[in-house]
Amino acid sequence: METPEDGLYLSADEAAAILGISLATLYAYVSRKNIRSLKVDGSRSRRYWAADIQRLAKPKNDVITTVTEPPRVAASSAITLLTDKGLYYRGQDVAQLAETASVEEVAELMWQSPGAFGDTLPKRPKAATPLLKAYAEMHPVEKAIALFPLIERENPKAYDLSPEGYARTGVDVVRWLAALMVGAEGPSTQPLPTFIVNALGVDSAFEDLVRQVVILSMDHELDPSTYTVRAAANTGVTPYYAAIIGLAASRGRRLAYSRGETVGRLLEEICTAHNPQDPVLQRYREGEAIPGFGSNMHGVADPRAQSLWLTLQDLFAGDIEFQRLLKAAQIAQELLQQPPDFILLLSFVGRKLKLEGRELALPGIGRVIGWLAHASEQYHHQTLIRPRAKYTGILPD
């Protein structure tokens, strides 16, 4: 009858013989080489997991076996470079792109598809109007998650997953999302900043600010939401579903964008307080984190925040709420040695554009552009990945 040692487990002598080492070395390997073992009942001896021994075993030619690492999502990417001193899309400085490029130009750069933004719009599903009416009180992200499968079904070109097809459908996804974010009836072929400003009914002077925010928000390398999108894209999902997955992941409580409500509450207190430094000081005295400060991943300063901060100083120099934000930022800088986070400045922009309850709508539009670039890259440059997990649970008898 076969015993456990004959199958899943090996005795100490058998394991040492296979590895060509002494028993003393075997015992040292248990912790150093992650060899799992099981105590033999009624004895001081142990049995050793055969798979772990085979993993470390030398082949007959005495050359050490190289354990091949399972393929990973986004082991490499040519899209975004995140450094201590700057952020680069396809090798181009993001701050410079935000100064001179259009949203459409940067999206086409990210997607490597010049001329992707054309003059045609996707077919509108018949169910779109009643669905949007029924979902009138829902957040735009929830509307997008519900509506995108209907739009995809109405537009079969979405199933063309070639690089060009991915970009072409990506345009439709972004235009529809922009419409939902600003409460428009449907998408438009206008330049995105123009469409957004017109739909919101705000001063046209904000158009360049909208352009800058969307560009700066497109990508931040392999953050959790982008990783999630890439993992799904590897299976071959369409651009609509890649966007749905990213939007769903971005609502997780651990992510920066999910902390937008917390940052928004602090911003509301700062903009309405008699002394705008009080909300910051109160949290500091009570030992609480000060949302909107201190989450910078860059070694020096977040280049996105630096770029946007300079624009806000010029555009809102005489704005009372911005003057209050300045005072709050000064005390936070003194206490934490940290400038305002990008998300705080984005929330302020949303506030000034009267995007109540959806202050992060503009960066959300930008992020979808970045997700689709990653999704296309992952799908076209990786075969189907089936990673393995390192089991750490109870071993079978």
Q: 364: which strand partners?
A: none
Q: Which CATH superfamily is domain 92-390 in?
A: Citrate Synthase, domain 1 (1.10.580.10)
Q: CA-CA distances (angstroms) from residue 287 to 255, 265, 281, 290? A: 22, 18, 10, 9
- From CA 202, how far away is CA 196, in angstroms rounded? 9
- From CA 36, how far away is CA 191, in angstroms rounded? 60
Here the tokens at position 286 are 């009570």
Give yes or no for a contact between 227 and 74, defined as CB atoms under 8 angstroms apart: yes
pLDDT, residue 220, reads: 93
What digits encode the pLDDT tens for the residues 277-304?
Answer: 999 999 999 999 899 987 776 666 899 9
Q: What are phi and psi of 46, to 5 degrees?
A: -135, 160
- From CA 2, how far away is CA 147, in angstroms rounded? 58
- Stretches where the chain sits below pLDDT 50 are 1-5, 60, 62-67
> CA angle 75-79-82, nearest 5°?
85
For residue 341, count CB atoms less than 10 angstroms from its CB and return exposed for 0-12, middle for 13-18, buried for 19 or more.
Answer: buried
- From CA 166, how far away is CA 116, in angstroms rounded? 10
Give yes or no for a contact between 104 and 192, defined as CB atoms under 8 angstroms apart: yes
pLDDT, residue 70, reads: 63
For residue 198, count CB atoms less than 10 angstroms from its CB and return exposed for 0-12, middle for 13-18, buried for 19 or more.
Answer: middle
pLDDT, residue 35, reads: 87
143 — alpha (psi -120 to 50), left (phi > 0) or beta?
alpha
For residue 60, count CB atoms less than 10 angstroms from its CB and return exposed for 0-12, middle for 13-18, buried for 19 or more.
Answer: exposed
Residue 65, C-beta contacts closer than 8 angstroms, at least 6 positions apart: 55, 56, 57, 58, 59
- Range 315-323, long-range pairs (CB < 8 A, 24+ positions): 315/205, 315/209, 316/352, 319/352, 321/271, 321/348, 321/351, 321/352, 322/348
Here the tokens at position 163 are 């690089």
> CA angle 35-40-44, nearest 5°?
90
What digits encode the pLDDT tens for the residues 343-358?
Answer: 999 999 999 999 998 9
pLDDT, residue 3, reads: 46
- The domain ranges of the chain are 4-56, 92-390
